[in-house]
């Protein structure tokens, strides 16, 4: 009986020693290092901030701000029942920068963001208003690239557009 107890004690010590040598990397102290989820959240927040700057530029008719969020080779697209049409962003940025009688307001919400290294995409609901008058709603599907010099920039924005079966941003209706 004594041999079995001693054997059990030795086995227990060996297991504890092995555990100390092969420590689980998840249990090591990383208090001063950002977790990958924290870094990912920072990148997601930067992506959202870039997209929100575009819509702030639209609200304030700031063409320079709008131009700053687009990559030089960016394009816009509209997906509709007759297909998809693409265009460059220069004309859009120019229209944003022109004085307007009505405010272009495009609130976004319920977004989903995915980031992998220098590539990101954002899928979000939107509703478009001219001043306080509802115009249309849809989905904005946005792809972005992160460069060393400019940070996150929109490379492509494709949307859908409809006036029926719309949803509205929280606290705001048609």
Q: Nearest 5°: phi and psi at 111?
A: -80, 155
Q: What is the pLDDT of residue 33?
A: 40
Tell me if 94 is assigned to some domain.
yes
Q: Is the pLDDT of residue 40 over 80?
A: no
Q: In the numeric block, which tokens belong to residue 167?
A: 């949803």
pLDDT tens digits along 140-169 = 999 999 999 999 999 999 999 999 999 999
Q: Is the pLDDT of residue 85 over 70?
A: yes
Contact residues for 17 (Cβ-Cβ < 8 A; gap 6+): none
Tell me if 2 is assigned to some domain.
no
Residue 151 class from Cβ within 10 Å (0-12 exposed, 13-18 middle, 19+ buried)? middle
Tell me if 88 is assigned to some domain.
yes
Tell me if 18 is assigned to some domain.
no
Tell me if 1 is assigned to some domain.
no
Tell me if 109 is assigned to some domain.
yes
Q: Residue 153's domain spans which residues?
A: 39-159
- The structural domain count of the chain equals 1
- The domain that holds 137 is classified in CATH as 3.10.450.50
pLDDT tens digits along 117-136 = 999 999 999 999 999 999 99
Q: In the numeric block, which tokens belong to residue 116?
A: 């992998």
Q: Cα–Cα distance between 62 and 52 in angstroms, integer?
A: 13
Highest mean pLDDT among 3-7, 14-18, 93-97: 93-97
Tell me if 95 is assigned to some domain.
yes
Tell me if 164 is assigned to some domain.
no
Contact residues for 97 (Cβ-Cβ < 8 A; gap 6+): 61, 62, 63, 64, 66
Q: What is the DSSP string of 59-81?
A: HHT-HHHHHHHEEEEEEEEEEET
């Amino acid at each position: 009986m004594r041999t079995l107890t001693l054997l059990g004690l030795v086995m227990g010590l060996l297991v504890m020693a092995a555990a100390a040598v092969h420590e689980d990397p998840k249990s090591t102290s990383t208090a001063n290092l950002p977790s990958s989820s924290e870094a990912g959240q920072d990148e997601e927040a930067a992506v959202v901030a870039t997209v929100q700057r575009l819509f702030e530029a639209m609200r304030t008719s700031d063409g320079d701000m709008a131009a700053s969020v687009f990559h030089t080779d960016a394009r816009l697209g509209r997906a509709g029942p007759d297909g998809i049409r693409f265009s460059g962003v220069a004309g859009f940025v120019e229209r944003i920068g022109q004085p307007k009688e009505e405010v272009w307001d495009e609130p976004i919400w319920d977004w989903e963001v995915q980031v992998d290294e220098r590539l990101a995409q954002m899928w979000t609901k939107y509703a478009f208003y001219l001043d306080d008058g509802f115009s249309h709603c849809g989905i904005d599907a946005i792809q972005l690239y992160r460069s060393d010099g400019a940070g996150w920039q929109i490379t492509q924005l494709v949307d859908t557009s409809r006036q029926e079966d719309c949803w509205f941003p929280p606290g705001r209706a048609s």
